């Protein structure tokens, strides 16, 4: 270390650098923000409308919202509706070349190498049965992380 450059200064510079990288990865460009707001409004309207929306339409809107979120990060390759011998996985994210570079440089945790997202779009909270099925899916796959997306959240405390 240079004279006059303390360990604290070094740590703060590294932290600031990582924060800038995180912001660059996660921040929406203006057109992305507008597209996201449009997709989110459409999704919310399907749920709040007095007219009964088709279950498939609601599910598709949620999957499109989730896919959009991960595609805009520019570090993931997003695969939708992947069929296995026993299940259908709504969304699988894997790191693309830029994401792998961030992983190798220590800016990302290795659990982001490949992970699953399950979109459950019911008129009530997601119960323990679905959580158990999701855990089973995670347990039988090479993933280290999974996220359940639901308009009404999960049941329990």
DSSP string across 6-51: -HHHHHHHHHHHHHHHHHHHHPPPHHHHHHHHHHHHHHHHHHH-SS
Is residue 71 in a domain?
yes
- Number of domains forming the structure of the chain: 1
Is residue 18 in a domain?
no
How far apart (Å, rounded) are the C-alpha atoms in residues 135 and 151? Answer: 19
Average pLDDT for consecutive 10-residue bins of the chain (157 residues)? 64 71 78 94 86 81 92 89 83 91 86 90 86 88 89 83
Domain that holds residue 145: 28-150
Alpha helical stretches, state H, the chain: 7-26, 30-48, 55-71, 97-104, 128-139
- pLDDT of amino acid 139: 87
Is residue 145 in a domain?
yes
Q: pTM (2 decimals)? A: 0.78
Strand order in the sheet with 88-95: 76-83, 88-95, 114-120, 146-150
Is residue 157 in a domain?
no
Is residue 44 in a domain?
yes
What is the domain-level CATH number for residue 36?
A: 3.90.1570
Other CB atoms within 10 A of residue 151 CB: 20
């Amino acid at each position: 270390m240079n004279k006059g450059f303390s360990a604290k200064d070094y740590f703060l510079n590294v932290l600031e650098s990582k924060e800038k990288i995180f912001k660059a990865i996660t921040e929406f460009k203006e057109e992305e923000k507008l597209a996201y707001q449009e997709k989110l409004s459409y999704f919310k309207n399907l749920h709040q409308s007095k007219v009964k929306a088709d279950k498939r339409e609601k599910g598709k809107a949620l999957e499109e919202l989730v896919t959009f979120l991960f595609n805009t990060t520019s570090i993931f390759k997003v695969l939708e509706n992947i069929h296995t011998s026993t299940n259908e996985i709504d969304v699988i994210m894997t790191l693309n070349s830029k994401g792998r570079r961030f992983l190798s440089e220590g800016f990302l945790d290795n659990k982001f190498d490949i992970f699953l997202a399950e979109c459950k779009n019911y008129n009530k909270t997601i119960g323990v049965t679905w959580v158990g099925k999701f855990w089973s899916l995670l347990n039988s796959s090479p993933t280290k992380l999974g996220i359940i997306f639901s308009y009404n959240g999960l049941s329990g405390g």
